[in-house]
Amino acid sequence: MQTISIIIPNYNGAEWLALCLESIRQHVTMPHEVIVVDNGSTDSSLRLCLKHEVKLVSLPENRGFPAACNFGLRLSSGDALMLLNNDTRLTAGALDNLMRCLYSGGDVGIVGPMTNYASGKQQLEEPFTSIADMAARMNRPDSGKWRQTERIVGLCFLFKRELMERIGELDERFSPGHFEDDDYCYRARQAGYRLLIAGDAFIYHEGSASFRLENEQKIKALLATNRQKFIDKWGVDPQSFI
């Protein structure tokens, strides 16, 4: 049986992180480890992590999302690696279906779930009712609901260790965040891997909770800057993959 490392970057997100960790405790039955990488939080995040007995990387300052993910990846031991936003909640059966999708073929590199809050094809078209209701209706194993895509949103990013060994870690030029997931997907596709959306897996996402702490104009400027960094690196606009 494959093992999985669940890596959760966190910055002053104790309120969301508590719910995320509880959802993992309730709904993950396979062999796993949870690694929280804390970006210099000043709230109760560290105490929360000690209470939950997760592996903890405590950074003295906010290094941003890509760097935090990379710290966690270096510490991880799982066959499969999941980068998970702290404002998400796993649901019953979702991870099992994601793992089935990931290991459905040797050329499958990254998979992601459907969710209530995301940009692009992973956004639910039907109205969100409740976490329990969406999970009960959606998380029935059905490979017919898997579909190939050019992009997986980084809110829940599941990939094989062999992919990381081949293409490396996240590119920290995109710190503090945005477009590092697009970059990783592009690199995976260049290396010959397929990306799949598992339509039979629903994960709840609160939605940009960490970045909501920042000024809206500041976020818009960051998005524009990192989009241009992607274009400068690859000569293609990442918006064309949405």
Structural domains of the chain sorted by starting position, each given as residue range(s) with its CATH number in brackets: 4-241 (3.90.550.10)
Q: How many CB atoms lie within 10 A of CB 145?
A: 16
**212 pLDDT band (50/70/90 cuts)?**
low
* pLDDT given for residue 116 in this prediction: 96
Mean pLDDT, residues 9-31 taken together: 97
**Structure confidence by residue, pLDDT tens digits, 33-89:** 999 999 999 999 999 999 988 999 999 999 999 999 999 999 999 999 999 999 999
Backbone angles phi, psi at 9, to 5 degrees: -70, 145
Q: pLDDT: is 219 or 7 the higher one?
A: 7
Place of tokens 């997907």: 185
What's the confidence (pLDDT) of residue 213?
Answer: 54
Phi, psi of 184 (to 5 degrees): -65, -40
pLDDT digits (tens, 9 = 90+) for 109-128: 999 999 999 989 999 999 99
